[in-house]
Structure formats: structure tokens, C-alpha cells
Structure 1
Amino acid sequence: MEPKVAFYFELETPFQDQVKLLREIVLSTGLEETLKWGQPCYMQGKRNIVLIHHFKEYCALLFFKGALLQNPKGLLIQQTAQVQAARQMRFTDIKTIKAQKADIKAYIYEAIAVEEAGIAVPMKKLTDYPVPALLQAAFKKEPAFKKAFNGLTPGRQRAYLLYFAQPKQEKTVLSRIEKYKPQILAGKGLND
């Protein structure tokens, strides 16, 4: 057990007992515990395998390459349509965790095997994401804006494309583009 991670398991949450049990199960597989992104992360060598985190309604194990794991019982969940690689196992009670202990370990061992085999999740290319018409129009109107956008990292571009594509109303799309134009021109991402 990693001392710098201990605080996470002492947090007052509705899932305190559940995350402690998940920690025991994960550590029993021989993975190394560390802290990443403020969450307990379990690694083999320098490779991330699984992370424990909690939300308002549930706690979860997040498998970094969960999309590559077999899921015959349907226990792995894709958080949103935009999540490409990771998958979660969600829990709300101790009873379920105890009942699924063997499945949890099986997923962990399979995730370790995937990492050892060097298998990568095939990711969507940036060109697979549509550029909203209103953003294209803004690019035509202001070439420096297009150049700044294209200068962003692919991850930052993808975040903006998804964010600009969400609204149904044109006025909302336009307001988002105008709001974030200065940030894009400054070379910053959506959440920078």
C-alpha cells in the first residue's frame, strides 16, 4: 500500500467501505499502487492497468484499456460515447463487490495480459470527427483562427470539435465558438 494514497480511502463518502474493499482486491493481484490524477492507480511496471474512483451515485474500477477486454457478462461500461479505450465496472454496495470478486480479478489479470502483449486500442483519428459548419465558416472568415486551431494538439482539437458539435441550436454553437476563439488563438485547450 502506498502511503500517499491512504487519504483517498479515508475520505468521507457514501462508498468508503466499497473503495476499501476494491483496493484489497486489486492489491491482491500484485499490482503496484500509486496516485495519479488524485485517484488510486494500479500499475504493472510503468503501465496503468486500473484506477479506483467514486462519483455521487457509484464507485468504480476504471480499466484503461477496457475496450480490449472480453465482457461476456456485460460488467464493463463505456462512460460516454466519446470514451474510446477505458471501461468501468460500477458498484454501489459491498454485496455486489463480494459477489463479483472473481470477475474483478479476471478482468485485472486480462488487463495485465493485454498490457504485456503490447496491444493498443485503435483510436479514432482526428479526421473522423466532423467539423461543425459554423466552425468551418468561422475558419473561412478568419484564416488566423483556422491556423491557430490546426496548431493545437489533436486532443485539444478533438475536445473543441466535440464541444462545438453538442448544441442543437445555432446560436449556442456560435456563442461557444466566439467565447473560446481567444483561447484557441492563444494556443490553449478547452479546459486550460
Structure 2
Amino acid sequence: MASSKTDTPTWDKINSWTEELEYLKSIIAKTELIETTKWGGCVYVLDHRNVVGIGGFKNYFTIWFFNGVFLKDEKKVLVNAQEGVTKLLRQWRFTSKDNVDEALVLDYIQEAIENEKQGKIIKTPKVEVTIEMPEIFQKELDVDPNLAEAFLKFSTYKQKEFLEYIVETKREETKRSRIEKIKPMILESIGLNDKYR
């Protein structure tokens, strides 16, 4: 199928697979999952947790299972889209509506729902990363006790975000401008990435 050149992301070739994706939607509608839109795509959730998603790509359309690693996959239809990168997510790819076995797709979705209800997750060990206090920022804290006190009120995680923001740049003047930018945030108890949470 030819895909038109547009500004749509490469994973969202929905216009090439409209009928096929509508068919997948009609199958998923027979389950208890709720349709939402996330990352510009169609995602189905159970109690606000992602279970499956659908989308069109250049050469195929797909249903993906966010915790697909737990599926038995007796028919061996699932693939890891990024081997070595993706730990949990698995895709089931189709190139034609005729390839979609509704009963089998429903079986896989129901198993994914059951896994979600059972709370099957992979626990990844937390890696403690320490970041050394940049001297340029330490000097600011030394001369401004209010700033130092406000900084210490943040959780270790949020302190690290501020420190990473400063040290990830090489140039001294950029470090200084970043410090000037974050000082009011620190004094107002606003974390570096709070607006994205």
C-alpha cells in the first residue's frame, strides 16, 4: 500500500490502514478495555493501565501488548519490535485484514487482561546513580543560605535532576545561565521536571 508523505510520525501510517484498524477496534470493543489516545495513537486500558495498542506502519498494521512478554504465545505470532531494547512490549503484525483471526486475537487480548488483573510485572533492579556536586553550583549554595536550604528540601531524585541539568553542558557560561534559570524554581520548591509530571 502506498503511503503519502506527510508530517505524521513513521509509526502512524493510519491513513494507509484505516479499514484494517477499524476492524481491530471492533474486535477490541468486545472486551472490557477502554479506548484512549496516548502518544498520538490508540491505546486500550484497564483501570488506567495500558494493555494493548493498535497502529499502522508503512508495511504492516499491528496490535501491541504492553506486557506481551507474559503471554504464552502458543501460535508464535508475537515479535519484539526492538530486540535487546524492549523488555515487555510485543507486537502482532498483519499485512491484510484477511490475516486477522478474530477469535485468536480475542484469546490473546483476554490473556493480556487476565495478566494485568493478576499484576504480572517485571521488577527491574534500581541502580543508584550519584552525581557529584558541581563546584560552580556549590559556590551559589555557599553564598545563599536560602537557596541551600530550599535545595536540601528536595528529594534526592529531584536534586539529581537539577545537578544533571547543570553538568550535562560543557560550557561554563551555559552552566551559569542554567543555574540562574533554576534558582527561582528551587526557591519556589518547583522541581525541574514538575510541569511534565
Give TM-score, length-normalised by structure 1.
Answer: 0.59
Quick check: 1:53 aligned with 2:55?
yes
Q: Which residue of 2 aligns with 1:182?
A: 169
Secondary structure of 1:40's counterpart equals strand
> Is the 2:44–2:50 Cα contact (8 Å) retained in structure 1?
yes
The alignment's C-alpha RMSD in Å is 3.4
List, as ranges, runs of 4+ consecutive aligned residues in structure 1 with deviation greater than 4 Å: 124-127, 185-188
Secondary structure of 1:182's counterpart equals coil
CA deviation map 1:52-106 (0-9, x unaligned): 1111111111111001111111111101120011111111101001xx2122111
Q: Which residue of 2 aligns with 1:168?
A: none
- Tell me the distance in 1 between the aligned counterparts of 2:115 and 2:87: 16
Shift of 1:12: 6.2
1:71 to 73, 88, 96: 73
Unmatched 5+ stretches in structure 1? 1-10, 128-138, 145-149, 157-179
Number of matched pairs: 136
- Distance verdict in 2 for CA 1:54–1:12, change over 3 Å: closer
> Is the 1:60–1:91 Cα contact (8 Å) retained in structure 2?
yes
Structure number having the greater helix percentage: 1
- Distance verdict in 2 for CA 1:123–1:79, change over 3 Å: farther
- Distance verdict in 2 for CA 1:31–1:14, change over 3 Å: same
Give TM-score, length-normalised by structure 2.
Answer: 0.58
Give the share of equivalent positions with the same residue, in percent: 29
Unmatched 5+ stretches in structure 2? 1-12, 135-158, 179-191
Quick check: 1:14 aligned with 2:16?
yes
- Tell me the distance in 2 between the aligned counterparts of 1:102 and 1:19: 16
- Higher-Rg structure is 2
The amino acid across from 1:109 in the alignment is: Q
Shift of 1:181: 4.2
